[in-house]
Chains A and B, each alone.
Chain A
């Protein structure tokens, strides 16, 4: 059996080469955006697959994250008699950090992997080469619509996630634990700032995460070896690389936006 020896001695070099190749791929992708305008229907179709089809997992997870957060906060804040602030803390936590980060992680697992696997299989079955041979640019037809769809879908999904998390917090805090409904909403509206929390937190972060996850997913799909093993590894790499990139980028963005 021929098993290729893993090259352990140049992991750093390989990682840097991957990042460099990914950067060059991004340039190619951005350059193809004008050419991809003629494939608007394909972009809309991808928006449906990566956006609308991810709604269920985003909504359910958002609801439970909000519920758990409220439960934990209520018990901690009750020690200090500050349970009335728990709605506001839930909202700020979700808008600033949990919403964009968890949505991006879920998006990488749900949509990122499917993008990588789909493009990887297209390569393995020569569909990408067939497009090239039919004089159809696969970057403009396959890669860019998926990248743009991820870019558009992520902020929308993040908004849905945040709304569901606040709803979950309300369900547990107001309906179950008896926090006053008026206090819950008024504290929240008083402390949540549209620019700092919604624009910088929800929209800007999720837009950045959407770009990173979609780029990694499309890049891994296009560069995977055209074998079943290659596609499996590429899908795994999409989740691992996306998760690390999301958390690292979150730290950088938070440091700059705070």
Chain B
């Protein structure tokens, strides 16, 4: 097995992205994107819909290969990794999917236990205790026997979160973790992300749109638009940095550098008014 191109791990940066270029169906998603995710911190990636935030997470985990550029996780170039090496790396990464992605054949307990059963030979009693510990952390120990179709969207997300952290990974990627959560659950999830980060030193990357929630926990924010990082910095100050990008995104304005309308032909012509106007 060939070894991936490896650099000594940087103490301050866990994920280093340089010159990332991705073209999907003829559309440029990333155009020489540079981004560093600091180790042991909570980083938020924000941006308008369709700018490739989830795609960026897929690049970090090696689910997608870039057209150009490199992504280094803990010093290792993800694009050079073999399937076995990718799987080895993913054992140290937790991933919370947008739609939870719970395995529908298994109940809540077995969903959380799944990674443990696949990668360890732990005794059943230890697996049980670990799973109950994680379920207690997300407030769903009592739901251990429920099937995924018996859960609300918010509950499913919390189960998926318990599954993502069951291995105590070095890096957790959260794809839209706050969608569908009621205020109580949202508060608990925020607290849990912060606790995991502070007590275990886990690096967290959030893809989210909720600025208020992000402000509470994130230490660094990247704003992505048009395939590049257009703004970055502290979440409390980035919203007020005055650039047209941040003003449009955080102010929720339709007019700005990112067009609200998907490229289309003449509106009046599409409605059939062009002839009447002549």
Contacts and interface: CB of A to CB of B under 8 A. Distances in A.
A40 B60 CA distance: 32
Contacts of B98: 126
Place the interface of chain A in its size category. 10 to 19
Nearest to A126: B101
Contacts of A125: 99, 101, 104
Nearest to B114: A134
A126 B90 contact: no
A133 interface: yes
Given A133-B63, A134-B114, A127 B91 contact: no
Contact of A129 (B83, B93, B97, B102): B97
A36 to B, nearest CB: 13
Interface string B87-112: 11011010101110111100000000
Contacts of B163: 134
Contacts of B61: 133
Contacts, number: 47
Contacts of B93: 133
Contact of B101 (A130, A135, A136, A137): A130
Size bin of chain B's contact surface: 20 to 34
B63 A135 contact: no
B118 interface: yes
Nearest to B175: A126
Contact of A134 (B83, B88, B90, B104): B90
A132 interface: yes
A134 B109 CA distance: 16
B104 A136 contact: no
A126 B102 CA distance: 8
A132 B104 contact: no
Contacts of A129: 63, 97, 101
Nearest to B119: A135
Contacts of B104: 121-122, 125, 127
Contacts of B97: 126, 129-130, 133
B102 to A, nearest CB: 8
A126 B104 CA distance: 11
B99 A133 contact: no
Given A125-B104, A127-B104, A137-B87, A132 B99 contact: no
A135 B91 contact: yes
Contacts of B102: 127, 130
Contacts of A121: 104
Interface in A7-65: none
Task: Name the residue among B61, B87, B88 with the largest chain A CB count within 10 angstroms.
Answer: B87
Contacts of A126: 97-99, 101
Contacts of A130: 95, 97, 101-103
B90 A133 contact: yes
Contacts of B91: 135
A133 B160 CA distance: 12
Contacts of B103: 127, 130-131
A122 B148 CA distance: 13
A135 B90 contact: yes
A192 B103 CA distance: 49
Contacts of A131: 103
B257 interface: no
A125 B91 CA distance: 21
Which of A125, A132, A133 has the most CB atoms of chain B within a 10 A radius of its CB? A133
Nearest to A131: B103
B115 interface: yes
A143 B102 CA distance: 18
A135 B95 contact: no
Interface of B: 61, 63, 83, 87-88, 90-91, 93, 95, 97-99, 101-104, 114-115, 118-119, 163
Interface of A: 121-122, 125-127, 129-137
Given A126-B99, A130-B103, A135-B91, 14 more contacts: A121-B104, A126-B101, A127-B104, A129-B97, A130-B102, A131-B103, A133-B61, A133-B63, A133-B95, A134-B90, A135-B87, A135-B115, A136-B115, A137-B87
Closest 6 CB pairs of A and B: A126-B101, A130-B101, A135-B87, A133-B95, A135-B90, A134-B115
8 contacts: A127-B101, A130-B102, A133-B61, A133-B90, A134-B115, A135-B90, A135-B119, A137-B87
